[in-house]
Amino acid sequence: MSLKSSTKAEEPNLYSLDIAIDAETFEGALKKAFAKLKNRINIPGFRKGKVTRKMAEAFYGKNFLYEDALDLLYSTAVEDAIKEAGLDVVGTKSADVKEIGENGVQLTVEVYVRPDVEIKAYKELKATKKKVEATEEEIDEKVHELVHRNARIIAVEDRPAAEGDTTVIDFEGFVDGEAFDGGKGEEYELKLGSGSFIPGFEDQIVGHNPGDEFDVNVTFPEEYTPELAGKAAVFKVKLHEIKHEELPEVDDEFAQDAADCDTVEAMRKSLADEIKAQKEAQNEREIREQVFEKLIENVVADIPPVMTDAELDSRIRDIDYRLSAQGMSFEAYLQYMGMSVEDYREQQREDAEKAVKLRLALEKIVELEGLEVADEELEAEYEKLAAQYQMELDKIKGIITAESLKKDLSVQKASDFVRENAKVTTARKPRAAKPKAEAEAADAEPKAETEE
């Protein structure tokens, strides 16, 4: 096999490779292709596996093995041509067989290469963060959650169901006298007032006692699934149990049991610290989003469309994997959302383009800043992945090459570098309205924000 030429096409970052596969190499591939197909070839009057290649070529035509033979050679031929041309290929646009036969193969393959990237700026990119504090209302909400988490559930037998109770019911729904899919449940726990069922359903359970059997009449909302939207339905309901939460008193004993704190005051301080930590983490995520958005805006590059398509393919594989873990297929998800694969790809395209730009920018920063990954950092990451996926270390190393993992780690280093060199200020809260004289005086003051 040999590379005859490599020329850059008019389209940005597109190269054309003229590849020649010599007659001897192609003949070897033809022999291998026939050996693989031999036992499946069916010619009248001959048993399978007893047909010679010459007989098969006479019956089917001399070119019947050409496609299979080329398939055996194609990947290696293109890889060798790319290597010889010294190209950093990111995808293939087209492949065109110019000639194929006893004299070998002549083909032209168009490939996209990784684009040159220019970054106008990647240091001191501006971002703002919110002031971190825990309000009394937020602390109260956390205490409320703790109280309900530690509530005692007690059976109610001396009164009918009321809003706030949890009921245990059997139900089956009918539209026009016919039961419908998904409309049946047994010993289902439903909290009255939660709004988790069709509007009006929970209200009609209020006032009933354990053992009661009754009808609930509702109308499905117009935005419901098409087959039920706007239709009247009757649910046959049997009420088995009523349960009620008995809430604990918020005192020092509660603080000790629920939050491992000596006093209520100490518990509230601990909850305040938890709220602040959550807000700090959210702040950091938002800062990175702002900084990376600005970094993307500073990227100058002609990005081949195949790179965006590859990112979209990756996103579809990822969502398909996550949905399958929940017992749902990607196709069913698209049907539920009322869109096709093409619709989904178009919906995700802008974000995919940004993701490609960001990756290219970070790879360029790795180069510009000379960021390197030490061997011990690589080994630590392998150990982390092995623990995460509960796999043996050697098996992880067999799946993920050191080269690809090093590249990912260096990109993460570039990401951290951009964040650490960002110029972050703390946004001020809007001030309450002041009398005109005070406002004019305030306007005359400097408005500089607090810098990180």
Q: CA dihedral defined by 137, 143, 145, 150, rounded to 10 degrees?
A: -170
Question: Would residue 281 count as lying in a domain?
Answer: no
H-type alpha helices, 49-90: 53-60, 66-85
Residues 6 and 86 in one domain: yes
Cβ neighbours around 36 below 10 Å, total: 12
List beta partners, residue 118.
300
- On whether residue 54 sits in a domain, the answer given is yes
Question: Is the domain of 318 the same as that of 421?
Answer: yes
User: Mind listing the pLDDT tens digit for each residue in 390-431?
Assistant: 999 999 999 999 999 999 999 999 999 999 999 999 987 655
Residue ending a domain, among 246, 269, 292, is 246
- Phi-psi region for residue 86, left (φ > 0), alpha (ψ -120 to 50) or beta? left
Do residues 309 and 379 share a domain? Answer: yes
Is 287:422 a contact under the CB 8 Å cutoff?
yes
Average pLDDT over residues 367-386: 96
Residues 106 and 182 occupy one common structural domain: no
Structure confidence at residue 448 (pLDDT): 43
In whole numbers, what is the pLDDT of the chain averaged over residues?
A: 91
Q: Residue 176's domain is classified under what CATH number?
A: 3.10.50.40
Q: What range defines the domain where residue 50 resides? A: 2-114
pLDDT digits 0-9 by tens, 81-110: 999 999 999 999 999 999 999 999 999 999
Write down the residue that tokens 């995700």 correspond to: 348
Q: Is residue 373 part of a domain?
A: yes
List all residues 6 or more positions away from 278 whose beta carbon is below 8 Å from its beta carbon: none
In a domain? residue 431: no
For range 383-387, the mean pLDDT: 95
Cβ contacts of 109 within 8 Å, gap of 6 or more: 16, 17, 19, 78, 81, 92, 94, 95, 96
In this structure, is residue 31 part of a structural domain?
A: yes
Q: What is the pLDDT of residues 339-358, one digit of tens each?
A: 999 999 999 999 999 999 99
**Does 97 share its domain with 156?**
no
Total domain count for the chain?
Answer: 3
Q: Which of 246, 266, 291 is the last residue of a domain?
A: 246
**The pLDDT of residue 374 is above 90:** yes
pLDDT band at 438 (very low <50, low <70, confident <90, very high): low
Q: Is residue 61 part of a domain?
A: yes
> Are residues 81 and 14 part of one domain?
yes
What pLDDT score does 97 carry? 95
| pLDDT at res. 435 | 58
pLDDT value at residue 410: 97
- 238 domain residue, yes or no: yes
Is 437 contained in some domain?
A: no
119: pLDDT strictly greater than 70? yes
Per residue in 126-168, pLDDT tens? 999 999 999 999 999 999 999 999 999 899 988 999 999 999 9
Nearest to 421 by CA among 378, 353, 365, 342: 365
| 307 & 418 share domain | yes
**% of the chain residues with pLDDT over 70:** 93
Residues 154, 450: contact at Cβ < 8 Å? Answer: no
- CATH number for the domain that contains residue 76: 3.30.70.1050
Same domain for 97 and 159, yes or no, is no
- pLDDT of 397: 94
Mean pLDDT, residues 185-198 taken together = 92
Q: How far apart are CA 81 and CA 103, in angstroms?
A: 19
Neighbour-count burial for 316-353, b at 16+ CB within 10 Å, e otherwise: eeeeeeeeeeeeeebeebeeeeeeeeeebbeebeeebb
**Tens digit of each residue's pLDDT (9 = 90 or more) over 261-275:** 999 999 999 999 999
Answer yes or no: do 323 and 403 share one domain.
yes
Residues 158 and 108 placed together within one structural domain of the fold: no
Please report the sign of the dihedral spanned by the C-alpha atoms of residue 139, residue 141, residue 146, residue 151.
positive
Same domain, 346 and 400: yes
Query: 286-297, pLDDT tens digit by residue?
Result: 999 999 999 999
Do 89 and 188 lie in a common domain?
A: no
pLDDT of residue 403: 94
pTM > 0.75: no
Say if residues 361 and 117 touch (Cβ distance below 8 Å).
Answer: yes
